[in-house]
Amino acid sequence: MKLSKFILPTVLFLLIMTSVGLSWVIWTDPTWNGKSESTRTTNSTQTDLTKTAKLSEVYSPTSIIYNDDQEQNVLYSEKVNIIANIQKQMRKWEETSIVEVPVKDEKEYLSFLNEKNQLMLSYSDEITISLFNQVFNQQNKNYQTRPFDRIVIPRNNKRSIYLLSDKDKKVYEISLSKSYNKDKMIDEALKSGKFSQLLVTFKLHNNNIFMYYNQDFKVARFRYLVDKQTASKYVAKLLGQTNGSTVNIKESKKTSTYYDGSDRQLTVQNETNLVSFEDDKDTNQEQKIGRGKALEQSYDSIKNTGIGLDNIHFYRFNSDTMTTVFRSYIEGFPIFNQTKNGAIEVERLSNGGNKINFSLSTLQIAVPSGKADVTLQSTEKVLNDLVAAGYKDSDISDIQLGYRWVSSSDSDLVVDLSPTWYVRYKNEWKNYAGLLKID
| pLDDT tens-digit series, residues 347-402 | 999 888 899 999 998 888 888 888 899 999 999 999 999 999 999 999 999 999 99
Mean of the per-residue pLDDT values for the chain? 85
Q: Among residues of the chain, what percentage have pLDDT more than 90?
A: 60
Cα–Cα distance, 361 to 137 (Å, whole number): 33
Domains annotated for the chain, with CATH where assigned, are 35-53+224-365 (3.30.310.160), 56-219 (no CATH), 367-435 (no CATH)
Exposure string for 344-381, b = 16+ CB within 10 A, e = fewer: bbbbbbeebbbbbbbbbbbbeeebebeeeeeebbbbee
User: Looking at residue 283, what is its pLDDT?
Assistant: 67
Examine the pLDDT at 153 and tell me if it is beyond 90. Answer: yes
Examine the pLDDT at 43 and tell me if it is beyond 50. Answer: no
Determine how many CB atoms are found less than 10 A away from the CB of residue 259: 18
User: Looking at residue 2, what is its pLDDT?
Assistant: 41
Examine the pLDDT at 16 and tell me if it is beyond 50. Answer: no
Examine the pLDDT at 79 and tell me if it is beyond 80. Answer: no
Examine the pLDDT at 239 and tell me if it is beyond 80. Answer: yes
Q: What is the rounded average pLDDT of the residues 296-325?
A: 93
Examine the pLDDT at 255 and tell me if it is beyond 90. Answer: yes
Examine the pLDDT at 341 and tell me if it is beyond 90. Answer: no
pLDDT band for 29, please (50, 70, 90 cuts).
Answer: very low
Examine the pLDDT at 217 and tell me if it is beyond 70. Answer: yes
In this structure, the dihedral spanned by the alpha carbons of residues 316, 320, 323 and 328, taken in order and rounded to 10 degrees, is -20
Examine the pLDDT at 196 and tell me if it is beyond 80. Answer: yes
Cα–Cα distance, 36 to 270 (Å, whole number): 12
Which tens digit of pLDDT belongs to each residue from 121-133? 999 999 999 999 9
Please give the distance of CA 272 from its chain centroid, rounded to a whole number: 20
Q: Does the pTM of the predicted model rise above 0.95? A: no
pLDDT band for 410, please (50, 70, 90 cuts).
Answer: confident
User: Looking at residue 373, what is its pLDDT?
Assistant: 94
Which pairs with CB-CB distance under 8 Å and at least 24 residues apart come from 201-207?
201/72, 201/114, 202/72, 202/110, 202/113, 202/114, 203/110, 204/106, 204/110, 205/383, 205/396, 206/393, 206/394, 206/396, 206/397, 207/106
pLDDT band for 38, please (50, 70, 90 cuts).
Answer: very low
User: Looking at residue 241, what is its pLDDT?
Assistant: 57
Distance set, CA 359 to CA 147, 241, 309 (Å): 29, 22, 12
For 276, counting Cβ atoms within 10 Å of its Cβ (0-12 exposed, 13-18 middle, 19+ buried), the class is middle
Determine how many CB atoms are found less than 10 A away from the CB of residue 98: 21
User: Looking at residue 312, what is its pLDDT?
Assistant: 94
For 9, counting Cβ atoms within 10 Å of its Cβ (0-12 exposed, 13-18 middle, 19+ buried), the class is exposed
Question: Which of the listed ranges 80-84, 178-182, 219-223 does the model predict with the highest average pLDDT?
Answer: 219-223
User: Looking at residue 372, what is its pLDDT?
Assistant: 93
